[in-house]
Amino acid sequence: MGAPGIPRSLVASLIPRPVSVTQGDGVFVLDAATAVDAPAALRGVAAWLQGALRPATGLQIAAGVGGNVVLLTEPGLAAEGFELTVTPAEVRIAGGSAAGVFYGCQALLGLLPPAIHRRAPVAGIRWQIPTGTVHDAPRFGWRGVMLDVARHFLPKREVFRFLDLMAMHRLNMLHLHLTDDQGWRLEIRRYPRLTEIGAWRRETQVGAGPDAPGNGRPHGGFYSQDDIREIVAYAAERFITVVPEIESPGHVQAALAAYPQLGVSGGNLEVFTRWGINYNVLNMAETTVRFFTDVLNEVMDLFPSPYIGVGGDECPKDQWILDPRTQQRIAELGLADEEELQSWFIRRLNDHLRSAGRSLFGWDEILEGGGAPGATVASWRGTAGAVAAARSGCDVVSCPDDQAYLDYRQSDSPREPIPVSVVLTLRDVYHFDPVPAQLTAAEAEHVLGGQGNIWTEHMDSPRTVDYFAFPRLCALAEALWSAKGGDFEDFDRRLQLHLARLDALGVEYRRAAGPLPWQQRPGVPGRPETQDQRAAHIAALVANIALPADFASGS
Ligand code: ACM
C-alpha cells in the first residue's frame, strides 16, 4: 500500500494510538461495488464517509442496504468508542454513538494510503485496507483546541479547514477566543459598534517587547451571525462542540473602543494595537453587567454549547484601585477588595448562564476572590488552578502553558519565528498529561480533559498557524485520546506516515529540522524565557488561588 517505505502494518500508522489492534492477512479493496450501508440515524456520518472516500479514489461509493461498508451503533460500546472490523468482504464500523462511528470512519481513513486525502483521483494506487480489527475509545471527553481569532482574524473558510483537521485527529472541542483587546470578532445585533468599530485595528505590533514597531497596516474581520451558524453546523457534523469565549472583565479594549461607557475612565480608546496585558478594563456598574448579559444572550442563541466562555484572565486591578466610583461600588456591595469585585462580576455572569441552563467556562483566574459555583475552569498557569479547582469540586480543562501552549517556541534554534516563552517540543506535548500528579483518583474525576491553546499574536496568517499547530496538535490528540504512558519513539515512527497525510491535505507543518526559509521571521524579536524565569513568573501569578473544600457544591 502507498508510497515506498510506508509500512503496511495496520498498527503502523494510526494516530491517535488505539486501545487494541489485531491484524489479519488479507485486504479489503475499495472498488466500483463499494457502498455504505447505514441506518437513518447514521446518514450524516455515512454521507461524510462517502464524501471522504470519493475524490481521491474516483469511485462513486454509493449508499444502500446491503452495502459492504456497514455502519451501526452498538450500545455496549463506550459512547465515543468504536470497533472497526475489516475482512476481505466487508468493513464494519460499530460505535457506541454516532460520534463513535465517526471516529471509526476516521480510523478507516487512517488505514488507507495517505493519498486518500487528495481531492482528485490519484492514479496508480490500489485502495486497499488491511484486514483486522481496531478497538478504541478516548481517555478524555474534552479533547480541545483554543483558537485565538481575536489577535489575528481567521476567515471562516480557515475555520472550516481547521475543524476538518481537528476531526481527523478526533479532537472534539473548539474553544473559539472571539474577543480581546485587539479585536471583537462576533456580530452582536444589539450592539453593532462592537464589530463596526471593534473588529478592526489601525495597525499591529510586529514582534514582542515594548520597542517592537507597529506595521502601519490595518487588520480586521469578524463573523456575522450567519457565518457562526455555518461554523457551528459544520463543527456539529464532525462531532465538534464550538465553545465561544467573550472576554471580561479584562482583555476588553476593542469593546471599550466601541462603547467607551463600559470603561473605568469613559475616555476614548482605539482598538489596541500592542500585545501584552492591558490596564484598560470594564467598570463594574450594573449597566455593564447588563451589556454583557445581553451579549451572552445572543451568544447562547448562536452556540448550543453547554459551556460558554467569559474569559476572566489577566485583569489588572490598577484602574479599580484608583477609581473612586469603583471603590464606592466595592463598599456598596460589601466586598473586601478588587479581587472579590472581579469574582462578583464573574458570579453575575455565572448566575445568568446557569439560569439559562448553561455552564460558565473561564480561565483559572476565576478561582481568585471566591470562584463561581458550577463553573468549569481552564487551568493555564501551570497546574495550580487544576489542582485547586478539582479539589474544590469544580470541573477542569487542563491547558498548562508549559505543556499545551502551542504558540511557545518549538526549539531553541534562533531560526524559530518570533520565539516566545519556553521551548515546547513535539515530545513535550506528547507527554502532556491533563491530570496533575497530586490529585487523588476521586479528584481526578473532575478533569474533563485538556486542550492546546493557539494564541495568535505572532501568527499573522493561516500558514503560520499551521507551522505552530502541526505536528504538535497530532501529539496533543494522542495525549488526550490514548491511554497514558505512550512511547514517543513509537509515536514519531507513526508520525512519519501521518505527515504524508498532512502533505496530501496541504498542511504546512513544522519540519523536524526546523522552519523552512519562508517560515522564519528574521530580525523580528520574540520574548524567549528560561524554564526558571517562566516558573518564577507563573508562581507569582498563582499566589492567590485558594478555594475552600467542597466549594463547588454551594450555589
Ligand atoms: C492566558 O494565557 N492569558 C489565558
Q: Which of 74, 105, 136 is the last residue of a domain?
A: 136
Number of Cβ within 10 Å of residue 330's Cβ equals: 18
Q: With 70 as the cut, is the pLDDT of residue 555 above it?
A: no
Q: Is any ligand 1 atom within 6 A of the Cβ of residue 380?
A: yes
The closest of 296, 431, 266, 440 to 356, measured between CA atoms, is 296
Q: Which residue out of 164, 203, 237, 314 is catalytically annotated? A: 314
Residue 360: all three cell numbers together? 460558565
For range 9-20, the mean pLDDT: 83
CA atoms within 13 A of residue 372's CA, in its CB half-sphere:
32
Q: pLDDT tens across 141-199, in order?
A: 999 999 999 999 999 999 999 999 999 999 999 999 999 999 999 999 999 999 999 99
- CA atoms of 177 and 239, how far apart (whole Å): 19
Ligand 1 midpoint to CA 380 (Å): 7
Query: pLDDT at residue 397 above 80?
Result: yes
pLDDT in tens, 251-263: 999 999 999 999 9
The verdict on residue 228 lying in a domain is: yes
Q: Does ligand 1 lie within 6 Å of residue 363's CB atom?
A: yes
What CATH number does the domain containing 181 carry?
Answer: 3.20.20.80
One domain, residues 362 and 470: yes
How confident is the model over 372-386, as a mean pLDDT?
93
* Closest protein CA for atom 1 of ligand 1: 313
- CB of 203 within 6 A of ligand 1: the answer is no
**Amino acid 199: pLDDT:** 99
d(CA 158, CA 142): 22
Residue 232: phi and psi, rounded to 5, are -65, -40
* Whether residue 451 has pLDDT greater than 60: yes
95: domain CATH number is 3.30.379.10
386 and 345, same domain (yes or no) = yes
Q: Which of 148, 180, 363, 379 to mutate to test the pocket of ligand 1 (most atoms within 8 A of CB)?
A: 363
Examine residue 455 and state whether it is found in any structural domain, yes or no: yes
Domain with 61, as residue range(s), is 11-136
Q: Is 158 a catalytic residue?
A: no
Strand blocks (E) in 429-496: 447-454
Tens-place pLDDT, residues 44-71: 999 999 999 999 999 999 999 999 999 9
314 is catalytic: yes
Total domain count, the chain: 2
Q: At what angle do helices 286-302 and 338-355 cross, to 10 degrees?
A: 40
Question: Final residue of a domain: which of 136, 160, 186?
Answer: 136
Ligand 1 close to Cβ of residue 351 (< 6 A): no
Tell me what pLDDT residue 28 has.
96
Residue 366 identity:
I
5 domain residue, yes or no:
no
Catalytic residue check, 492: no
